[in-house]
Structures are given as C-alpha cells and as structure tokens.
Amino acid sequence: MNPAKRREIFQRLQAANPHPTTELEYRSPFELLIAVMLSAQATDISVNAATRVLYPVAHTPEAILALGEEKLTGYIQRIGLYKTKAKHVIQTCRILVDQHAGQVPQTREALEALPGVGRKTANVMLNTAFGQPTLAVDTHIFRLSNRIGLAPGKNVLEVEKKLLRVIPKEFLHDAHHWLILHGRYICRARTPKCAECLIYDLCEYKDKAN
C-alpha cells in the first residue's frame, strides 16, 4: 500500500470519528490499567460490567489491596481467567504502592515490570492514559493491518513496528482507536461489512464481499 492510500485511510477515519477513545470505562490512569489488565481474552462489555461494581468500592491501589484477593475475585469472576487476573492485580497494586507512591508509571520498562502487564497493555497505557504516539496491536489491528494491506506482518511486534513507521505522524495518537473500532465493528474476522466500509475503495483485501 502506498503512502497516499494510507494517508487517505486515516483522513477518512478521522473525519468519521474526530475524537476516538477506548470503550473501556475509566476515570484515572489506574482505573484504565486495571481495566486493560482484565480485558485480556475478555470483552470490553464484560470488563465494564465488573468495574462498574468494583470501582465504587475500590478504585486505588491502596483500596484494592485493602479489599484483598478473595473479595476482588468476587467482583471480577464474570471475566475469563479471573483467578489469575486477581492475583496479578493484587501484585501490581503492591508494586505501585511500594515503588511508585501509588501512581501508574509512565515508562514502558516500569509498566512491563508489573505482573500481568505485557507490551500490548503498556502501549495502551502510554497512548491512552499518557498521550504518547504509540499503539497496541491486538487481534483486530493485526487482522486489519494484514487484510487490507496497511502494514502486513507475521506477528504483532512486526505489525506494530511497521505501523509506527508508515502511519503519518499526525494520526499516530488516535490510530490505535480508529483501527480497533474499524476491526471490531466493520472489518470483522468472519463477515467483514464491506458494504458499510468507508475505506472500501482503498482496501487491498483480495476477497472483498460483493
């Protein structure tokens, strides 16, 4: 895909949604961190349903530590892998309190040192919470980047590095959200809604629906 096509793609996505954001509900970097940790192999809908009940009770590292792992598990048991996630959340809260004065760190290294936080979660935090021009490649973005020819790659890291290189700088801050939303609702895995796609004429997908 040539640079002119890529620019046009993001111009259209921007025009359709000038201020995109995550569908996870949060009011602070810490709430976003916990929501993203819980969202692995789970839907945003299920995470939001859990945090709507959890956050009024405990929305800081100190409060979640006071809650304890057993009670925390009760709040998030509707989410997949909830036992492992509860353990990681408690461990992460302990590190935030002991090493970061209860605040979420703003560097990749410090974020990835937290239990249950990998590169994707760190990228979400750096971009969405702290405004850095990076992006997290989830299954939607990986599929979309390969399918439409935006930034083909064999793995998520390859796609991430390519996207950072080819997306025009002025679109980098919001590209993560545009691509996720487009992949989630339009360029779906099994039945892409090509008839509703605003970048259909720019797409290089060989099996476009008629």
List residues with catalytic annotation.
Answer: 120, 138
44-74: b (≥16 Cβ within 10 Å) or e: beebbebbeebbeebbbbeebbebeeeebbe
The amino acid at residue 38 is: L
What are the Cα distances from residue 38, in Å, to 42, 68, 103, 195? 7, 16, 18, 34
The separation between CA 5 and the C-alpha centre of its own chain, rounded to angstroms, equals 25
